[in-house]
Structure 1
Amino acid sequence: MSDKIKTGSKGENLAAEFLIQKGFEVVQRNYRFKHAEIDLIVKRDNWLIFVEVKTRSSNSFGEPESFVDVAKERKIFEAAEEYIFSKDWRGHIRFDIVSVKLGTIPEIVHFEDAIN
């Protein structure tokens, strides 16, 4: 497993644990549709939240959340639309980003409604 994949996997695990502690239920991890992937799909009350996790070992190249570009957003929307229809979801939806900076003490920031 490459270092990039290990870093991403560690970040997704930390993000999932963080969201669970905040009262969310993880309903799907690494949901794939065509060439798109949604890192985490979580649920709380009548909300289904599609979460993009961005992990960096340092912020030398910028904040992790700044790496979600328009092309990535389009892919997330496409995959989310398929998921919503496949589950016949009738509640609210939202798109969040969880930024994870690894270090001695990982820094995790949850940006709600970050992708429009």
Structure 2
Amino acid sequence: MAKHNELGQWGEQIAADLLVTKGYAIVERNWRVGNMELDIVAMKGSRIVFVEVKTRSSDFVDPADAVDRRRMMRMVRAAHSYVRSREIPHEVQFDVIIIVGNPESGATPRVEHIADAFLPPLRTVR
């Protein structure tokens, strides 16, 4: 497995563990539809939460910069497909978890959980 894939899996496990300690229930991991993916789908009370996990091995590039408008739109489209495929009536929330660290270093990674990181854009119905 490529190093960046290992780093991503490591980060997603840290993120999932963090969410569980905060009272979230993990529903799915790495859910795919077409060429889109949701890293983590969780429940917090009656709300369904779609979580984007960004892991980097150093602070040289801020992982938060990787969650740009284009990435948000892909996440919203994937979440829409997920909700429609399961006919889910719940409120939705979009979170981002940023992890900076390296599993090989043995050091504790820096983890930041941004709950309700963004609101999905409203679309005009035509």
Question: What's the TM-score bracket when you normalise by the shorter of the two chains?
Answer: over 0.9
> What runs of 5+ residues in structure 1 fail to find an aligned partner?
none
Match of 1:5 in 2: 5
Q: Where does residue 37 of structure 1 map in the other structure?
A: 37
Who is 1:59 aligned against?
59
Distance of 1:90 and 1:66 partners within structure 2: 31
Matches within 5 A, 1:8-87: 8-61=8-61, 63-87=62-86
Q: How far off is 1:115 after superposition? A: 2.6
Q: For 1:75 and 1:66, locate their aligned partners in 2 and report how far apart those are by CA, in whole Å.
A: 15
Q: Number of paired residues?
A: 115
> Are 1:35 and 1:75, in contact at CA under 8 Å, matched by a contact in 2?
no
| 1:113 matches 2:116 | yes
Q: How much does 1:101 deviate?
A: 1.0
Q: Which has the larger radius of gyration?
A: 2
- Find the aligned partners of 2:23 and 2:60 in 1 and give their Cα distance: 32
| Distance in 1, Cα, partners of 2:46 & 2:54 | 25
CA distance in 1, matches of 2:114, 2:78: 20
Per-residue Cα deviation, 1:55-84 (whole angstroms, up to 9, x for no partner): 0111112x2122112221111111100110
Shift, 1:88, TM fit: 1.1
Q: What SS class does the counterpart of residue 116 from structure 2 fall into?
A: coil
**What CA distance in whole angstroms lies between the structure 1 residues aligned with 2:38 and 2:64?**
15
The alpha-carbon deviation at position 50 of structure 1 amounts to 0.3
Q: Which amino acid aligns with 2:41?
A: I
The answer for unaligned runs of 5 or more in structure 2 is: 120-126
Alpha-carbon distance in structure 2 between the residues aligned to 1:100 and 1:41: 18
Q: CA RMSD in A?
A: 1.0
Shift of 1:113: 1.2
What's the % identity of the aligned pairs?
Answer: 32
